[in-house]
Amino acid sequence: MSTKVILTNWSVLKCKYLGSLGAIRQAIDAVVRADKARGVRTRLIRLDVEADMMPMDASAVADPRDPRRTKAAVDAVCRAVQPDYVMLLGAPDVIPHQDLINPLAWKDGEERAWGDLPYACDVPYSQNIAAFRGPTRVVGRLPGLARGTDPGCLLEALAIAAEWTPYPPAEYRSYFGLSAHDWTASTQLSLEYVFGSGEHLFTSPPGGPKWPEEVLGHRSHLVNCHGLHARPYYYGHLAADAKPALSAAWTMGRVRRGTVAAVECCFGAQLYDPAEAGGQMGIANAYLASGAYGFFGSTCTSYGASAVNGLADLICRFFLTHVRLGESLGRAALHARQEFISFVGTLTPMAAKTLAQFILLGDPSVHPVLAPSDTHPVPAGADAALPAEALALRTGRAERRHRLAARGLALARATPAATVARPLAPPAAARRELEQLAGQEGMDVGSLHSYPVRVPRGVRLSRTATPPPDEAQAFHVIAQDTTPPGSPMRHLAVLEAREVGGKIVSYSTFHSK
C-alpha cells in the first residue's frame, strides 16, 4: 500500500489540549481507517516518544522548540519508512517551523524565513536556504491553533482528512480572485495562466470584506493583497484608513467545503496565537475550520511584481495549476517548489526567501480534483494482499515519487544560489549602472547589499557558455521603505540586479505584499 506518516509531538498535544487527547486520538484513528479504504497505509509516529522513534534508529525529540532535533527526527522517519506523504500534525508550537536565515533580514527586519521547506528535503539541518534547493518529499501541515487550548480546529481538520472526497474538475474551474487594486495586472495574468481568463477578478478597493456566499463559494481561491503580522485581515491598499479586503471572521463558515486557496499576501499563512489578535484566529485557520481542503501561503513578508508575475505570483500560480490537474495537495506543493526553482534558474536572495516561506496547510494526501485515468487495473487473484485498484494506484504513485525525487536531486546539484550577503564591492561599471537604476526607481543606492553566486560543487558549465564558470557573478539588492505616512502596513520596494562579467545585465523590481 501507499504510505503516509502523521508526525507530531504527543507531550505538547497532551499539554495543550488536556482532557481532549482521547478525542484527538480517535480522530487520528478515523483518518487511518479512511486512508486504508483508499489504499493508503497511515501511521502515527510521535517524535517525542522513544518507543516510536527507536525503530527509526533515532532519538526522541526532547525539546519541541528545537528545529535541529525535529528535522533530524523527521529525516530518520523518512529514511526508515519511505513515505509517500508526510503530514505534520500541529501548529509550530507542536512541530516547529525551520529557522532558515532570511537573506533580506537587513531590510525587512525578519531574522528568519520560517517555514517547512527543509522537511521536504533529504539533506541535514541547516539555516542556509541554499541547502534546500532540491525538495523531494510530499509534505503538508495540519495545524490547529498556535498555543491555543481549544482542540476544535484540529479536530475539524482531522475530520476533513478522514471524510474528504474529490470533486469533478468543473468544481475548480470557476474561481474567487481577489487583488489589491495596484496589482490588478499581475493578478489577472496569474488567473489567465491557471484558469484561462482573469475577467472575474475582484479588486480592493472598492470590494470587501463582506463577500457574498456565491462569491466565496467558488472552490478555487487566489488572493493577492497586503497582509500584516498577527492580523486576521488582508488589505487592498496601504492607506491609514484602509478597510479590509478579506477578514477571518467573515470567511468563517462561508468558505465551501473542498476549497483550495493560494494566498500571496505577507503573513498570509502565519499561524499566530489568536490571543495576539483579540482572540480572532487567522484567515488560514478560518479557511481550514470552514472545511477548506488546502491553503498555500506565506509565513512572513512576501514579495511579488506589480505588472508581471514574479516570486509569490509564480509559486502560487504553479500550486493551483497542479491542483487543477488532479494532483494531491502535497504533490502540487512539491511541484510548485520544483517548478519555481527551475523557473528562476538561480536561487537569488528574493527567490530564496520566497521558496523558504511558502507552506502547505492541509492533509498532503487529499486529491481535491477527481482526475480520470486512462489505465485500468488488472483484477488480482484471490490470494492477493491488496485489491487491484489499490495495487495500480500504488504502482503509479511510486513511479511519480521516484521522478519527483530524481528531479529534486537534479535541481540540488545544478542550481546556483546567491543567498548569503557579502561585503562585496561591485565593479566600477556595475556600480554606475546600479546608481542609474536606483535613480530611475526613486531608490537610494546606499542600501545596496551584494550576494555572490555559488555554483554547486561538481557542476561545470560548457566553455562556450556565458559566463564561464570561473568568472565572478553576483546579485545586488537595493531596498527602500516606501510606506505611506500613517499606513498601518509597512511597504518595501526592492530592486534585484544581476551582475555578469562586471556589468549589470538585468534587473527586477518587487514590492512587499
What digits encode the pLDDT tens for the residues 310-332? 999 999 999 999 999 999 999 99
Question: pLDDT by residue (tens digit) across 282-294?
Answer: 999 999 999 999 9
CA 295 to chain centroid, in Å, comes to 9
CA distance 267 to 91: 15
Q: What is the pTM of this model?
A: 0.93
The one-letter amino acid at 72: A
**Matching residue, cell 505584499:** 513
Q: Give pLDDT, residue 463.
A: 47
Give the range among 195-199, 226-230, 278-282, 391-395 with minimum mean pLDDT.
391-395
Four-residue CA torsion sign, 199, 201, 205, 206: positive
- Cβ-in-10-Å burial (0-12, 13-18, 19+) of 295 comes to buried
Q: What is the DSSP letter of 381?
A: P
Q: Give pLDDT, residue 490.
A: 86
- Domain positions in the chain are 2-132, 177-414, 428-512
Q: What is the DSSP letter of 62?
A: S
CA 481 to each of CA 442, 443, 511: distance values in angstroms, whole numbers, following the listed order: 11, 9, 10
Four-residue CA torsion sign, 114, 115, 119, 120: negative
Average pLDDT for the chain: 91
Say whether 177-414 and 2-132 share the same fold. yes
Which CATH number, 3.90.1420, 3.40.50, 3.30.70, 1.10.3470, labels domain 2-132? 3.40.50
Question: pLDDT by residue (tens digit) across 60-106?
Answer: 999 999 999 999 999 999 999 999 999 999 999 999 999 999 999 98
Q: Give pLDDT, residue 382.
A: 46
* pLDDT score of 394 more than 90: no
Whether residue 377 contacts residue 388, with contact meaning beta carbons closer than 8 Å, is answered with yes
Q: Give pLDDT, residue 197.
A: 93
177-414 adopts what CATH topology?
A: Rossmann fold (3.40.50)
* pLDDT score of 192 more than 70: yes
Q: Give pLDDT, residue 423.
A: 80
